[in-house]
């Protein structure tokens, strides 16, 4: 991204901390009347509303752990960092309203690089109609760290926890699974090819969907609205950040139920199937453990089935059971395998 030797580079120290904050936060557009005061004081101020609950979630992304700037453009990274947090807000069946953004950044980044990161952050704020209301900007001895906190609101009658699933509910997922993880594998492979032969021209066309799912995922705000339109109130919900298997286990443990997941129901994009064949990987394993799909996984009452049946955005992939029956995958061969969490874990 910064190969152009003629492009301007400004050292962050030329601006200083306050100068950088001023530079980054100028021309911030606010969308919500509830945002009384954004950036510029000791704290941001939000108006109170007794008719809603406030939801608060936070996520930290660390260079070398959650992203590799070798193939993740900074603008995409900024967008994704916001999106990852909004996904958690939507998983509460809530509206996202505000975010704070803190970054620690080493001196190797010029101001223009931070501008790119913030361009992505601001694009996400614009697209999801979220107000950037505060944050912190500091130096880091090495690498880039982004910590975002998102605030949202939800009608108390509509809030959805992980803990509300009943043993007869259906298990539903939005979109399709496994693509983001495979996108990462494709990018890792291309990076290695590039290291051996810098003149190699990668053909990413056959993997376009996978790469997009990795570099520019979208949080499923639309699914929250769709469920409202369909008059479906999920009984429990979680977003898929770490992989289907570990999210199912979270729902089951929180709700004290078991689950039967049907392998043949797991929604997969054709590119996932063909790339799994090429990489000699099992597509079910990828869907179960891949992570970063940012789809919504939720349960609905059986009587709501007619409302979601045939909807192209939603797939019934299983059903809940009594707790003592355990958590199982029913394979295509009709064998029953216990599901264990093998999703993303940054400490492994």
Site for a second copy in 11-30 (CB under 8 A): 12-13, 15-18, 20
What is the pattern of x (binds a second copy, CB under 8 A) and - over residues 302-321?
--------------------
Least gap, CB of 58 to a second copy (angstroms): 5
Cβ proximity to a second copy: between 65 and 193 the closer is 65
Selected from 72, 78, 100, 276, the binder of a second copy by CB under 8 A is: 100
Least gap, CB of 91 to a second copy (angstroms): 4
Query: Among the residues of 146-243, which ranges form H helices?
Result: 179-196, 208-215, 221-229
**Using CB under 8 A, which residues numbered 241 to 270 contact a second copy?**
246, 254
**Using CB under 8 A, which residues numbered 155 to 184 contact a second copy?**
159, 161-163
Handedness of CA 207, 238, 132, 105 (dihedral sign): negative
SS (H, E, C) 80-142: HHHHHHHHHHHCCCCEEEEEEEEEEECCCCCHHHHHHHHHHHHHHHHHHCCEEEEEEEEECCC
Write phi, then psi, for 183 (nearest 5 degrees): -60, -40
**Using CB under 8 A, which residues numbered 59 to 88 contact a second copy?**
59-60, 62-66, 88
50 binds a second copy (CB under 8 A): yes
Q: How far is residue 201's CA from residue 293's CA, in Å, rounded to a whole number?
A: 27
Q: How far is residue 281's CA from residue 251's CA, in Å, rounded to a whole number?
A: 27
334 binds a second copy (CB under 8 A): no
Query: Among the residues of 216-309, which ranges form H helices?
Result: 221-229, 244-255, 270-279, 283-289, 305-308
Selected from 40, 188, 277, 340, the binder of a second copy by CB under 8 A is: 40
Cβ proximity to a second copy: between 46 and 227 the closer is 46
Q: Which residues of 296-306 are buried (b: 16+ CB within 10 A; e: fewer)?
A: bbbbbeeebee
Selected from 53, 204, 230, 281, the binder of a second copy by CB under 8 A is: 53
Q: How far is residue 93's CA from residue 91's CA, in Å, rounded to a whole number?
A: 5
Least gap, CB of 191 to a second copy (angstroms): 17
91 binds a second copy (CB under 8 A): yes
335 binds a second copy (CB under 8 A): no
By CB under 8 A, the count of residues binding a second copy is 77
Selected from 120, 134, 290, 318, the binder of a second copy by CB under 8 A is: 134
Region binding a second copy by CB under 8 A among candidate stretches 127-135, 222-230, 260-268, 281-289: 127-135
Selected from 1, 37, 193, 340, the binder of a second copy by CB under 8 A is: 37
- Residue 244, sorted as left (phi over 0), alpha (psi -120 to 50) or beta, turns out to be alpha
**198: buried, middle or exposed (CB in 10 Å: 19+, 13-18, 0-12)?**
exposed
Selected from 67, 78, 149, 186, the binder of a second copy by CB under 8 A is: 149
Region binding a second copy by CB under 8 A among candidate stretches 139-147, 178-186, 269-277, 314-322: 139-147
Q: How far is residue 235's CA from residue 272's CA, in Å, rounded to a whole number?
A: 30
94 binds a second copy (CB under 8 A): yes
Region binding a second copy by CB under 8 A among candidate stretches 122-130, 141-149, 178-186, 200-208: 141-149
**Using CB under 8 A, which residues numbered 187 to 226 contact a second copy?**
none
Distances (CA, A) of 19 to 11, 120, 131, 247, 275: 12, 20, 21, 42, 47
Least gap, CB of 246 to a second copy (angstroms): 8
Q: How far is residue 326's CA from residue 328's CA, in Å, rounded to a whole number?
A: 6
């Amino acid at each position: 991204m910064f190969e152009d030797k003629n492009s301007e580079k400004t050292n962050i120290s030329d601006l200083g901390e306050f100068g950088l904050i001023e530079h980054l936060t100028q021309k911030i557009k606010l969308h919500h009347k509830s945002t009384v005061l954004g950036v510029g004081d000791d704290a941001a101020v939000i108006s109170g509303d007794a008719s809603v609950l406030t939801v608060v979630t936070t996520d930290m992304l660390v260079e070398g752990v959650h992203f590799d700037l070798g193939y993740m453009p900074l603008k995409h990274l900024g967008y994704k960092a916001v999106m990852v947090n909004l996904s958690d807000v939507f998983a509460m069946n809530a509206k996202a309203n505000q975010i704070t953004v803190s970054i620690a950044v080493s001196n190797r980044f010029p101001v223009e690089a931070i501008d790119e990161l913030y361009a992505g952050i601001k694009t996400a704020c614009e697209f999801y109609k979220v107000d950037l209301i505060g944050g912190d900007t500091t130096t880091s001895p090495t690498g880039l760290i982004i910590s975002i906190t998102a605030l949202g609101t939800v009608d108390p009658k509509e809030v959805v926890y992980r803990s509300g699933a009943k043993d007869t509910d259906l298990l539903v997922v939005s979109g399709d699974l496994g693509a983001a993880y495979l996108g990462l594998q494709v990018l890792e492979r291309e990076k290695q090819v590039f290291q051996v032969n810098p003149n190699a021209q990668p053909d990413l066309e056959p993997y376009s969907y996978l790469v997009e799912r990795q570099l520019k995922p979208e949080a499923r705000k639309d699914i929250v609205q769709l469920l409202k339109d369909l008059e479906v109130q999920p009984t429990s919900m979680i977003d898929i950040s770490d992989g289907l298997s570990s999210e199912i286990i979270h729902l089951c443990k929180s709700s004290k139920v078991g689950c039967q997941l049907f392998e043949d129901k797991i929604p997969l994009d054709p590119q996932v199937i063909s790339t799994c064949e090429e990489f000699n990987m099992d597509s079910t394993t990828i869907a179960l453990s891949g992570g970063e799909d940012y789809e919504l996984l939720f349960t609905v009452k059986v009587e709501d089935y007619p409302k979601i049946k045939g909807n192209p955005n939603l797939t019934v992939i299983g059903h809940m059971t009594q707790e003592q029956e355990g958590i199982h995958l029913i394979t295509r061969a009709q064998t029953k395998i216990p599901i264990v969490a093998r999703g993303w874990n940054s400490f492994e």
